[in-house]
Amino acid sequence: MTGLDGLNPSPGALVVGMVQARIPVIARPADLQAQADRLADLLRRAKRGMPTLDLVVFPEYSLNGLDPQTFLDDTLLVDRDGPEVTTLLTACAEAGVWGCFSLMERNPGGAPWNSGVVVDDTGTVQLYYRKLHPWVPMEPWQPGDLGIPVCDGPAGSKLALIICHDGMLPEVAREAAYRGANVILRTAGYTHPIAQSWRITNQSNAFHNLAYTVSVCMAGPDPNGVWSQGAAMVCDVDGTVLVEGDATPDRLVTAEVVPSRADDARRGWGVENNVYQLGHRGYVAVEGGARDNPYTWVADLAAGSYRVPWEDEVVHVDGTRAGWPAPEQVRARAQPGGSAAPAPTGPSGG
């Protein structure tokens, strides 16, 4: 049952709307508030047009834009308690709907954070996340330091947010599931060359973790004429694609998910209950399953000694070949008055 993508919600359904937001042009500080007002209007209109909506998800970069030339301009960043974010929180309260928003956030200690918030229908932030894995070498963001938070959401959901390239690393979605998330949101700015990887990782993240995945990219051309793909998508717990969007800017793609189905699968599945079975290997032969760690990379990562066999042959180990300065200069540029070295002009958003 899909309830006609949320028009007729099933019992226990969470109805989600994914906005394939048009890439904004952000050239001056006033543009940020104008874009916040626009996103707030899109959220209100989505809820008016489809009153069954419980959660409206906006993609990465939908507030700050997707022009690398502006990424480290301190005047074109936002603060968590700034007026732009307040506008979005207020819209959730006024519309009576949950929202998920992206922000490129000032970081007094270094390069900006690529952050996201999940906001409830009273305008209260329930989840705050910093992107763990910036899309290197194209993005200059400070890597996140908060792990993968999970919050209670509508209809018995437990929500996690991962951002764009995070979803290409299976360990990120697994961490979200391990912490209890049964609905994993993924916001992105990906362009069309990533379409196949986007689709299969959304599906695999769902199946590997018996979780719903709810994913959406920006849509339309960036200032360099490179199009983001839109490609809103919801996957069932077995990886089946329930709903899939297109490349239409500002299109609202809707779907329903039933969080209790994910919970039931995690409790009741035998074959392919992979989240549980990872830590209970071979429980048919070993009571309770083997619980040792057979994975070298897990032990090495925990010990701070992660090193691949081809470590010394890796070509890209900073952003210089993609046009960014050395890391210490990236951090310096992110501060007020930082130098204005050229930024990459190629496809961005990950």
Size (the chain), residues = 350
Q: Quick check: 63 and 40 in contact, CB under 8 A?
A: no
The answer to whether residue 164 is catalytic is yes
Calpha distance 152→145 (Å, rounded): 21
Check if the beta carbon of residue 43 is closer than 8 Å to that of residue 56: yes
60 is catalytic: yes
At residue 102, the pLDDT reads 98
Q: What is the pLDDT, as a whole number, of residue 347?
A: 65
Amino acid at the residue 96: G
Question: pTM for the full model?
Answer: 0.96
What Rg value do the Cα atoms of the chain yield, rounded?
20
Q: Is 10 exposed, middle or buried (0-12, 13-18, 19+ CB in 10 A)?
A: middle
Task: Give me the catalytic one of 60, 105, 139, 175.
Answer: 60
For residues 277, 279, 285, 288, the Cα torsion angle rounded to the nearest 10 degrees is -100
CATH topology of domain 3-278+315-333: Nitrilase/N-carbamoyl-D-aminoacid amidohydrolase (3.60.110)
Instruction: With CA atoms as reference, report the closest residue to 161 among 24, 298, 266, 58.
Output: 58
Given the residues 92, 151, 164, 235, the one annotated as active site: 164
Bin 271: left if φ > 0, else alpha if -120 < ψ < 50, else beta. beta
Q: Which two tokens stand for residue 172?
A: 């990120």
Q: Are 210 and 273 in contact (CB under 8 A)?
A: yes
Q: Which of 131, 151, 158, 235 is catalytic?
A: 131
- Count other C-beta atoms under 10 Å from residue 308's C-beta: 10
pLDDT at position 232: 98
Phi, psi of 319 (to 5 degrees): -95, 10
Per residue of the chain (350 residues), give pLDDT as tens.
Answer: 578 999 999 999 999 999 999 999 999 999 999 999 999 999 999 999 999 999 999 999 999 999 999 999 999 999 999 999 999 999 999 999 999 999 999 999 899 999 999 999 999 999 999 999 999 999 999 999 999 999 999 999 999 999 999 999 999 999 999 999 999 999 999 999 999 999 999 999 999 999 999 999 999 998 889 999 999 999 999 999 999 999 999 999 999 999 999 999 999 999 999 999 999 999 999 999 999 999 999 999 999 999 999 999 999 999 999 999 999 989 887 776 665 455 666 666 78
pLDDT at 335: 74
Q: How far is 164 from 169, CA to CA, in rounded Å?
A: 10
CA angle 184, 87, 61 (to 5 degrees): 50
